Amino acid sequence: RSDFGRGHEIWLRGEITKVYDKGHMYIDVADAGTKDARRPTIGAHVWQSAWNRLKVKVAEQNIQLETGAVVELYGHVDVYAPQGRIGFNVLDIRLIDVEGEHAKRRQDLIARLTQEKVLRANETTFLTPVPLHIGLVASKSTEGFADFTGQFLKSGFSFRITHVQATVQGPQAPHEIARAIEQLDGNCDVIAVVRGGGSKTDLACFDDEVIARAIVTCATPVFTGIGHSNDESVADLVAHTRAITPTELGEKLVSLVREWRQRNVVRVATLLLNYGAAVLEEAEITLGTNRRAVTFAVRDRLRAEDKNLLQTRQRLLAGARRRLDRKSTRLNSSHIPLSRM
């Protein structure tokens, strides 16, 4: 207090690691320019009276108070004696780097992965034609989880989902997500990493190298559905397939199964059905032709037999008449008159 307390205001430079507005603005800042998880961090706060004034300045200067932004905070140290906690009371704010240290680390990570030729490594992993067993890395209490799983419930297919719970924002998220990916690797057809929309601060963990390394070394295809349409994380870049939302990711996976079924079941069944119908139609035509041929042949034969029978009848009648005529003539010529008797 004697060196840095009220009346001894200083500018404190650091990288934002957490920020949240509860009337008062709370900002956790850490040493910038290092990835050490143990780097020094201090909790700063802007009391509501000062925040109401600074909020206007922050908006006018388009300052984004988000994870990864490097800022300078003007104020003084205060101490909460009951807990022995040192804090920093902020009176003014200025942004040092618009993109922030987070953005710089993100670009450095992408450059390293590209140089190592592993940026698209997961894209080359084998994707089964019918991915029905989905490994899900998500937080069950989020809308993203519900939006994603809802697509399978109404799909009509027998999907199986193995869910591994993981925090999807905050400092613990990268390690939990990476562990979940490692746990599911080799035990399912596809691993889906899902997180609904949020601020850049909320989604910052998906730019972490821990997650990127877990994906590029994963032998199972990793699909991501993170944030909204304008969000693109490093996790998206290294994944096998990316969707812009959890809902779209669920639709993509359902479509893979539906399209396979269409090609290999419905189409084949339709071809067989059409072929069978064509064979039956051809057989019916042949049967009709043969039926007509037999009918005409029988009719012609009957007509011929009728004609032959008529001719035979006529010959028999004519023969009979001639014979009767001869017999009658002979009988008449042999007749003895009664007067001679």
pLDDT for 33 equals 64
Least confident of 89-98, 129-138, 160-169: 89-98
Q: How far apart are CA 54 and CA 275, in angstroms?
A: 76
User: pTM for this structure?
Assistant: 0.59
Q: How far apart are CA 145 and CA 60, in angstroms?
A: 36
Q: What's the mean pLDDT in 18-40?
A: 82
- Give the residue among 126, 124, 131, 125 at the shortest CA–CA distance from 259: 131
Q: What's the mean pLDDT in 258-273?
A: 89
Q: How far apart are CA 332 and CA 323, in angstroms?
A: 14
Given a contact cutoff of 8 angstroms between Cβ atoms, the answer to whether 193 and 203 are in contact is no
Residue-wise pLDDT for 295-317, tens only, equals 888 888 888 888 898 889 888 88
pLDDT for 34 equals 64
